[in-house]
């Protein structure tokens, strides 16, 4: 039984998250304490969930993209564009506090992010450009587009309805948590209750065999990029609503990297195939907890980067077959480097 | 008789779980073309890789010019005078012709590459030894595969090769290109080079080689002078049979009324350049058609055309019921065709998925994403096929990559049976499967045919082709050479057609 | 005779010329030697980084750590010289060696453990940035005599002047052209980018070359960091943010295939200048804002990638 637990795909992510939380508990005993103030729950744990919400969302979309063997570098830019679009729409409205205006703003942002996702998907499927290169285009241009929308300014809005998305509360909890929960639920239902999950894993694991089994892999890949764009768009809404402003330059900066990291920590291989949505969520929580922890112990927050560097490397080394083999055989095959290379093809 | 240039003795090579070569001897004389023959799994490619230092040798010795050598990599093989030209040209398409000939050994002065000298040297080398006058400053990809192969040979020659290994060099060449290559091989032979020639084309073996070594199942079958080995004998040795012992096998299939079924699929003058010459083939409903031929004779190529994996260059393919042609695998499946590929690893199994998921994949793809099979239904299906095909371990949640090859094959068979096709194309369905399971699959094929399913059955094992087929088409050298109807089917007849000449 | 392999680079050069011409017609004072010199002065660090990146991309890899390594180098230079009082004669060679070692390490991990270059250099990027903040989270101003002297030295040329940085960058470009086209190392890089499997079977030193490529890129980034220190006279952890993207864009616009195997140092040089001209035009325009630079570069990236894709497609159909 113990051995089985050890092998479960969530074992390592959960352990790391647990260890992080435990460290925090020891360091600051009131870490787990929750206070009710003004009918809302407050506490470090809530903060982690609340601040981590956009990253979790983006990571969920990224998980599916990576599962098909792709990658989406443009999510950070889409986050910025979406926030900018929403804030621009609201700031242009005549009645700033109107509810309908918020609906329009959110709609415009979501449509725009879906279009951007479609653009990525089309580049990958129709022109058959490698995903990393295809999405690089929007990664570069997207920041410019976001600044174009905001005219290089930070657009500040004051609309209580809009603020609710990222800063409001529902049942004593931040509303953003519910958005994330809903997205996770939708993604899980779509991938596990319909055949989409099977198709994604199949295309990511062996594209040629999938084609011969009659899968329409292009449709699958296109859908996944659109979904990823949508997730990034919603994340952008949460982020901009939380601070009631849109910053084309800095919103969602490094999100693509953090999201990829969350996916990898969650156990999904960058080579595509099997994916683990729950693993990704825990991965994103680990990143957020790490940031919170580092803030708390008073080290400059930028040090997080160093820790992340080692986490990325450690996770990838564990996933690397060559590394594991090295540990086991200790360069036994050193004289025949081509052998491993060619055995794969034999 | 002169002494061999290269002498390999008692070569043994093990891979985890398999003995790829056991105690194989091989020798090469200067100024000869020596063909290395064998069917799938015979150990040809392993022997070549051992010789070129790609694989290590577990036991045995290699002697060149009477000196024992250890070859620990492609570079050392080159230094020992052994060069290889592979079927898929192993040069860099982005570099110029001259560079491809000289890279790693460019002429330099004070560390600076002398392009002028290199280009002239390359031009001269190609002209003098290969009668080839081309612009050597163009990138390699500007030239046809045939020319690229010649450039690869030029590279080998410039390293002062004594042994030249040509690994299926002719597979993607047309007739004229093959003759050009042969002309050059003859020239090199007269220059005293020892050429190891691997090919699937029997005609070419007899046209070019002086000596033939046959391998089977990783063991040495024998070494013969080409002139003294009749074609039919060669084929028999490759597949491990004795002509005298060939006798009528009991046919499992009953004499089906020849005109009983209506047309299922009809190919007329269907062909694809470099893959299969135009052929006619019709398959009727409820009929089992066998394709017989050696490895590389064009069997798989026919299957790929029928399933829409590759596009034909010429001819027509008609699926009777719908009156339409096949455009893609998806389209083929919709038209009631299923194709169980021989390349399980690359074209069959989805590594990361479970047995259950692999089984339902094709059916689910047909139903679309929005109508998933319920988990209960999936479990039932998996259960049913695991039992029916005796898949081991009988656990539907096992990852398919951890199953043995034979069991993977059964899972793929299950995947396609589940789609209830009208035409099932089986490419080597019994390779790597134990005898009991083989018989089961053969029986299954017959019972499916009885229920009205058409089957195109491809196998290297002639007995099973004969046992299950109502009709057999024989292929040789990428061409359909003969078609035998049920009363004419017998081993000798097929063997003769396979060997040709 | 027009060799087909030069088409991308000619297109790039034509684009640069057209942009410069357009700028000259539209804005008074645009067409001057000093505008051209300023392009070089303001982009010398980018040219140096892009040279290293070109080798990496030709070999079929990518290096995301370049911007961070520049930042780290400025940080090391500034803190060692200003706060520790070390001599620039010690510090500069030392940071160059450190940059190369950093690249070597990443290259070794990429090659021996077969992890995607993207991920390994991403970790390198985090690491180098993070180390900057360990040194200091604030800007360190450089007042050292040597650094200020180099920064202020102007080399007078007809019609204007350039800085020492430009000379360093141009020298590196020339050296890199020689390295790429006239040495075995350079040709091996191209071979590996064309087909690593073939390079291996042809007996080329694949492992050594691949690792050296990243070492060279690390060296270039460190050199760019030194040049950046001359340029900004400060060390700061936020220096060269997002520079990896500008670098990659310059390399691609310069005609290097992101899939590896094809590319030119000279093209990269022009690619950097194109980015510079876009910025100059936008600053001359006045009403146009700086973000248009990113949009135009993104657009150029798209056009060039599509163009490359079509070229390679034609190549494949030509072959079969």
The token pair that represents C313 in the structure block: 């497609």
Is B326 in the same domain as B298?
Answer: yes
Measured distance CA(C168)–CA(C170) in Å, rounded? 6
Q: Given this model, what pLDDT does residue C72 score? A: 94
Q: How far apart are CA A181 and CA B34, in angstroms?
A: 69
**For residue B273, what are its two tokens?**
């350049």
Domain boundary assignment for chain C: 31-240
Q: Select from B201, B187, B95 the least CA-distant residue to B148.
A: B95
Contact assignment for A194 to B365 by CB distance below 8 Å: no
In the predicted model, what is the mean pLDDT of residues B41-51? 84
**Which one is predicted more confidently, B329 or A97?**
B329
Is any Cβ of chain B less than 8 angstroms from the Cβ of A213? Answer: yes
Residue C246: its pLDDT value, please?
87
Beta bridge partners of B9: B61
Does residue B114 belong to any structural domain of this protein?
yes
Question: What sections of B72-134 are H helices per DSSP?
Answer: 74-79, 97-102, 115-130
The least confident of A183-192, C115-124, C283-292 is C283-292
**Interchain contact, B330 vs A214, CB within 8 Å:** yes
Q: Determine the residue among C106, C128, C133, C293 to mutate to test chain A binding: the one whose Cβ has the most chain A Cβ atoms within 10 Å.
A: C133
Q: Is the pLDDT of residue C317 over 50?
A: no
Q: Quote the CA–CA distance of C48 and C67 in Å, as a whole number.
A: 12
Domain assignment present for residue B1? The answer is no
For an interface test with A, the pick among C63, C294, C306 (most A C-beta atoms closer than 10 Å) comes out as C294
At residue C319, the pLDDT reads 42
A66, A135, A271, A306: best mutation site toward chain C, by most C Cβ within 10 Å?
A: A306
Task: For residues B216-237, give the mean pLDDT.
Answer: 86
Residues of the domain holding B119: 6-244
Q: How many domains does chain A have?
A: 1
For the cut 70, the answer to whether the pLDDT of residue C308 exceeds it is yes
Size of interface A-B (CB pairs under 8 A): 102
pLDDT of residue B199: 84
Residue B406 reports pLDDT greater than 60: yes
Distance between CA atoms of C182 and B114, rounded to whole angstroms? 8
Interchain proximity A147–C294, CB inside 8 Å = yes
For residues B114 and B189, membership in a common domain is answered with yes
Could you say which of A195, A206, A336 has the minimum Cβ distance to residue B364? Answer: A195
Instruction: Give the nearest chain B residue to A67 (CA atoms).
Output: B352
Closest CB from A130, A303, A320 relative to C134? A303
Sign of the torsion formed by the C-alpha atoms of C222, C228, C233 and C238? negative
Chain C interface includes A229 (CB < 8 A)? no
Residue listed under structure tokens 């990146």: C53
Q: Is the pTM of this model over 0.90?
A: no
Q: What percentage of chain B has pLDDT greater than the value 90?
A: 12
Is residue B448 located within the same domain as residue B475?
yes
Q: Is B192 exposed, middle or buried (0-12, 13-18, 19+ CB in 10 A)?
A: exposed
Whether B78 has its CB under 8 Å from any CB of chain C: the answer is yes
In chain A, the percentage of residues whose pLDDT exceeds 90 is 22
More confident residue, B55 or B437: B55
Residues in chain C closer than 8 A to B84 (CB atoms): 201
- Cβ-contact B386, B394 below 8 angstroms: yes
User: Please, which residues 171-190 of chain C have a Cβ atom closer than 8 Å to chain B?
Assistant: 178, 181-184, 187-188, 190
pLDDT at A291 over 70: yes
Is B2's pLDDT higher than 50? yes
What is the per-residue pLDDT across A88-138, written as a single tens digit (0 to 9) for each?
A: 888 887 776 677 788 888 898 999 999 999 999 999 988 888 888 888 888
Q: Which of B339, B365, B415 sits opposite A215 (nearest CB)?
A: B365
Highest mean pLDDT among B325-334, C1-10, C276-285: B325-334
Angle at B157 between CA B156 and CA B163, to 5 degrees: 70
Cβ distance of A136 and C245 shorter than 8 Å: yes
Domain that holds residue A114: 2-299
Q: What number is the average pLDDT over the span B300-309?
A: 90
Q: Which of residues 235-264 of A touch C (CB under 8 A)?
A: 248, 257, 260, 264
Residue at B255 is within a domain: no
Same domain, B170 and B39: yes
Residue C107 vs residue A194, higher pLDDT: C107
d(CA C116, CA C9): 28
Q: Say yes or no: A211 contacts chain B, CB-CB below 8 A.
A: yes
Lowest mean pLDDT among A96-105, B146-155, B379-388: A96-105
Enumerate the residues of chain C whose CB falls inside 8 A of the CB of residue A145.
Answer: 291, 295
Q: Picking from B311-325, B374-388, C202-216, which range would have the lowest pLDDT averaged per residue?
A: B311-325
- pLDDT classification of B246: cutoffs 50, 70, 90: low
Tokens coding B433: 């499967």
B281 and B300 assigned to the same domain: yes
**Option in B54, B104, B113 nearest C204 (CB):** B104
Q: How confident is the model at residue B275 (pLDDT cuts 50, 70, 90)?
A: confident
Q: Can you give the pLDDT at residue A56? A: 94
Mean pLDDT of C187-215: 91
Q: Answer with the one of B244, B274, B304 that is the final residue of a domain.
A: B244
The CATH number covering residue B265 comes to: 3.40.50.300
Is residue B250 a part of any domain in this protein? Answer: no
Residue B268 CB neighbour total at 10 angstroms: 13
Interface check for B109 against chain C (CB to CB < 8 A): the answer is no
Say if B232 is an interface residue toward chain A (CB within 8 Å): no
Domain annotation covers residue B473: yes
- Residue B233 and residue B192 share a domain: yes
Evaluate whether residue A317 is within a structural domain.
no
Q: What is the pLDDT of residue C173?
A: 95
Determine contact: B405 vs chain A, CB below 8 A.
no
Instruction: Provide mean pLDDT across the span C81-98.
Output: 91
Q: Which residue of B has its CA nearest to C182?
A: B113
The distance of C182 to chain B (nearest Cα, Å) reads 5
Lowest mean pLDDT of A228-237, A314-323, C61-70, name the range. A314-323
If you write DSSP's letter for every residue of A70-88 in order, what string do you get?
A: ---TTHHHHHHHHHHHHHH
Q: What is the pLDDT of residue A225?
A: 95
Q: Sort out which chain A residues have CB atoms less than 8 A from B49's CB and list them.
A: 342
Q: What are residue A42's DSSP bridge partners?
A: A35
A334 in a structural domain: no
Return d(Cα B39, Cα B455) in angstroms, integer. Answer: 24
Looking at the domain assignment, is residue A34 inside a domain? Answer: yes
Residue B209 and residue B65 share a domain: yes
- pLDDT beyond 50 at C59: yes
Which residues lie closer than 8 Å to B4 by C-beta, 6 or more apart?
B27, B28, B29
What are the tokens at A122? 């089309």
**pLDDT averaged over every residue in chain A:** 82
pLDDT above 80: residue A319: no
Contact B330 A206 (CB under 8 A): no
Query: What local confidence, expressed as pLDDT, does residue C45 receive?
Result: 93
pLDDT for the residue B434: 67
Among A206, A214, A343, the residue with its CB nearest the CB of B362 is A214
Say which residue, B78 or C96, is predicted with more confidence.
C96
CATH of the domain at A141: 1.10.3470
- Does A336 contact B56 at a Cβ distance shorter than 8 Å? yes
The fraction of chain B above a pLDDT of 70, given in percent, is 94
Q: Are residues B434 and B413 in the same domain?
A: no
State the alpha helices, DSSP H only, in chain C.
7-26, 33-58, 66-78, 88-113, 117-135, 145-152, 164-182, 184-194, 196-201, 206-232, 243-253, 265-285, 291-319
Whether residue C135 contacts residue C262, with contact meaning beta carbons closer than 8 Å, is answered with no
User: Cβ separation of B347 and A216 shorter than 8 Å?
Assistant: no
Query: Out of B169-173, B183-187, C22-26, which region has the weakest mean confidence (pLDDT)?
Result: B169-173
**Is B485 within a domain?**
yes
Give the number of residues written for chain B.
501
Is the pLDDT assigned to residue B252 strictly greater than 80? no
B202 in the same domain as B56? yes
pLDDT band at B213 (very low <50, low <70, confident <90, very high): very high
Tell me which chain B residue has its CA closest to the CA of residue C206.
Answer: B104
Residue with tokens 């021989």: B342
Chain segment C245-289, per-residue pLDDT in tens: 889 989 988 888 888 888 899 999 999 999 888 888 888 877 767
Q: CB-based burial of residue B173 (10 Å sphere; 0-12 exposed, 13-18 middle, 19+ buried)? A: middle
Question: Is some CB atom of chain C closer than 8 A to the CB atom of A208?
Answer: no
Q: Which chains touch B (3 or more CB pairs under 8 A)?
A: A, C
Q: For the segment B470-487, what is each residue's pLDDT rounded down to a tens digit?
A: 889 998 888 888 888 877
Are C203 and B73 inside 8 Å of each other by CB? yes
Q: How far is B237 from chain A (nearest CA, A)?
A: 24
Split into its structural domains, chain B has a count of 3
Kind and range of the H or E run holding A1: none
Q: Are B321 and B216 contained in the same domain?
A: no
CA dist B14 and B221 (Å) reads: 19
C-alpha–C-alpha distance, residues C310 and A38, integer Å: 62
For residues B134 and B238, state if they share a domain. Answer: yes
Chains that touch C (3 or more CB pairs under 8 A): A, B
ipTM exceeding cut-off 0.90 for this assembly: no
In a domain, B12, yes or no: yes
Q: Is the peptide bond before C76 cis (omega within 30 degrees of 0)?
A: no
What pLDDT, on the 0 to 100 scale, is given for residue A2?
43
**String of b and e for C60-93 (b: at least 16 CB within 10 Å)?**
bbbbbbbbbbbbbbbbbbbbbbbeeebebeebbe
């Amino acid at each position: 039984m113990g051995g089985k637990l050890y092998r479960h795909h969530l074992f390592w992510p959960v352990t790391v998250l647990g260890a992080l939380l435990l460290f925090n508990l020891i360091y600051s005993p009131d870490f787990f304490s929750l206070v009710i103030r003004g009918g809302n729950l407050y506490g470090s744990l809530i903060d982690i969930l609340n601040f981590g919400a956009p990253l979790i969302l983006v990571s969920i979309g990224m998980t599916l993209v990576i599962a098909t063997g792709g990658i989406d570098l443009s999510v950070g830019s889409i986050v910025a564009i979406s926030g900018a679009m929403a804030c621009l729409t609201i700031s242009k409205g005549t009645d700033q506090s109107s509810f309908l205006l918020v609906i329009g703003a959110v709609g415009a942002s979501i449509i725009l992010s879906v279009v951007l996702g479609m653009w990525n998907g089309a580049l990958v499927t129709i022109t058959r450009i490698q995903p990393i290169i295809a999405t690089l285009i929007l990664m570069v241009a997207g920041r410019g587009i976001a600044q174009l929308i905001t005219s290089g300014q930070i657009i500040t809005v004051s609309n209580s309805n809009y603020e609710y998305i990222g800063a409001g509360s529902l049942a004593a909890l931040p509303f953003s948590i519910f958005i994330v929960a809903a997205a996770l639920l939708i993604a899980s239902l779509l991938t596990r209750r319909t055949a989409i999950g099977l198709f994604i894993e199949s295309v990511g694991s062996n594209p040629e065999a999938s084609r011969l089994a009659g899968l329409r892999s292009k449709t699958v890949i296109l859908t996944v990029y659109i979904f990823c764009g949508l997730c990034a768009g919603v994340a952008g809404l949460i982020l901009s609503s939380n601070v009631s402003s849109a910053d084309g330059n800095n919103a969602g900066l490094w999100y693509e990297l953090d999201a990829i990291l969350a996916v990898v920590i969650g156990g999904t291989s960058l080579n595509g195939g099997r994916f683990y949505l729950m693993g990704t969520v825990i991965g994103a929580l680990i990143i957020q907890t790490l940031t919170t922890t580092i803030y708390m112990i008073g080290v400059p927050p930028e040090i997080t980067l160093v820790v992340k560097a080692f986490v990325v490397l450690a996770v990838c080394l564990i996933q690397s077959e060559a590394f594991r083999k090295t540990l086991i055989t200790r360069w036994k095959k050193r004289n025949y480097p081509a052998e491993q290379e060619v055995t794969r093809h034999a | 008789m002169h002494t061999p240039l290269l002498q390999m003795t008692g070569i043994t090579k093990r891979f985890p779980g398999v003995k790829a070569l056991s105690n194989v001897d091989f020798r090469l004389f200067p100024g000869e073309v020596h063909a290395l023959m064998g069917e799938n799994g015979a150990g040809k490619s392993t022997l070549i890789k051992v010789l070129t230092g790609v694989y290590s040798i577990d036991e045995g010795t290699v002697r060149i010019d009477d000196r024992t050598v250890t070859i620990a990599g492609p570079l050392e093989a080159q230094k020992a005078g052994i060069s290889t030209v592979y079927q898929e040209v192993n040069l860099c398409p982005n570099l110029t012709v001259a560079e491809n000939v000289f890279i790693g050994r460019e002429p330099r002065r004070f560390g600076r590459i002398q392009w002028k000298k290199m280009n002239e040297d390359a031009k001269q080398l190609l002209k003098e030894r290969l009668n080839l006058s081309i612009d050597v400053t163009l990138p390699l990809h500007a030239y046809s595969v045939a020319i690229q192969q010649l450039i690869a040979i030029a590279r080998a020659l410039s390293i002062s090769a004594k042994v030249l290994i040509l690994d299926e060099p002719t597979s993607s060449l047309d007739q004229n290109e093959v003759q050009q290559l042969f002309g050059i091989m003859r020239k090199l032979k007269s220059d005293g080079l020892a050429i190891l020639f691997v090919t699937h084309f029997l005609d070419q073996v007899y046209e070019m080689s002086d000596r033939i070594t046959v391998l089977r199942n990783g063991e040495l079958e024998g070494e013969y002078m080409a002139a003294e080995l009749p074609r039919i004998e060669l084929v028999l040795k490759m597949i491990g049979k004795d002509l005298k012992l060939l006798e009528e096998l009991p046919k499992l299939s009953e004499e089906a009324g020849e005109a009983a079924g209506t047309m299922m699929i009809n190919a007329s003058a269907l062909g694809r350049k470099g893959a299969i010459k135009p052929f006619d083939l019709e398959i009727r409903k409820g009929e089992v058609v066998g394709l017989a031929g050696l490895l590389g004779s064009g069997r798989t190529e026919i299957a790929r055309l029928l399933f829409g994996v590759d596009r034909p260059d010429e001819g027509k393919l008609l699926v009777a019921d719908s009156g339409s042609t096949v455009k893609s695998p998806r389209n083929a499946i919709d038209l009631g065709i299923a194709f169980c590929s021989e390349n399980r690893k690359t074209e069959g199994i989805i590594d990361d998925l479970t047995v259950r998921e692999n089984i339902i994949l094709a059916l689910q793809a047909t139903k679309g994403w929005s109508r998933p099979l319920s988990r209960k239904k999936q479990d039932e299906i998996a259960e049913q096929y695991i039992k029916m095909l005796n898949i081991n371990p009988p656990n539907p949640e096992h990852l398919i990559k951890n199953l043995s090859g034979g069991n993977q094959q059964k899972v793929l068979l299950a995947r396609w049976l589940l789609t209830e096709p009208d035409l099932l194309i089986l490419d080597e369905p019994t390779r790597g499967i134990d005898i009991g399971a083989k018989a089961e699959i053969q029986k299954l094929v017959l019972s499916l045919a009885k229920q009205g399913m058409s089957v195109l059955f491809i196998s290297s094992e002639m007995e099973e082709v004969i046992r299950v087929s109502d009709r057999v088409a024989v292929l040789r050298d990428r061409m359909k050479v003969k078609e035998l109807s049920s009363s004419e089917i017998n081993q000798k007849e097929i063997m003769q057609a396979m060997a040709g000449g | 005779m027009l060799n087909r392999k030069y088409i991308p680079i000619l297109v790039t050069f034509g684009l640069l010329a057209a942009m410069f011409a357009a700028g000259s017609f539209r804005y008074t004072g645009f067409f001057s030697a000093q505008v051209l010199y300023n392009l070089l002065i303001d982009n010398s660090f980018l040219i140096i980084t892009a040279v290293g990146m070109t080798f990496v991309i030709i070999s079929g890899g990518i290096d995301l750590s370049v911007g961070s390594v520049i930042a780290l180098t400025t940080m090391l230079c500034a803190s060692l010289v200003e706060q520790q009082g070390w001599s620039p004669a010690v510090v500069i060679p030392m940071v160059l060696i450190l940059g190369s070692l950093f690249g070597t390490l990443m290259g070794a991990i990429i090659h021996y453990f077969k992890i995607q270059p993207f991920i390994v250099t991403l970790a390198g990027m985090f690491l180098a940035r993070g180390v900057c903040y360990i040194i200091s989270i604030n800007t360190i101003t450089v007042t050292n005599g040597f650094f200020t002297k180099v920064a202020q030295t102007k080399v007078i040329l007809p019609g204007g002047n350039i800085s020492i940085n430009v000379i360093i960058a141009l020298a590196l470009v020339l050296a890199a052209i020689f390295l790429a086209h006239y040495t075995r190392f350079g040709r091996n890089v191209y071979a590996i980018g064309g087909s690593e499997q073939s390079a291996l079977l042809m007996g080329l030193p694949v492992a050594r070359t691949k690792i050296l490529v990243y070492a060279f890129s690390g060296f270039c980034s460190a050199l760019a960091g030194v040049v950046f220190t001359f340029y900004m006279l400060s060390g700061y952890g936020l220096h060269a943010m997002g520079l990896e993207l500008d670098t990659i864009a310059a390399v691609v616009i310069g005609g290097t295939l992101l899939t590896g195997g094809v590319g030119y140092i000279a093209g990269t040089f022009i690619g950097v200048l194109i980015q510079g001209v876009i910025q100059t035009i936008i600053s001359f325009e006045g009403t146009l804002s700086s973000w248009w630079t990113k949009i135009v570069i993104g657009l150029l990236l798209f056009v060039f990638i599509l163009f490359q894709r079509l070229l390679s497609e034609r190549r494949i159909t030509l072959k079969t």
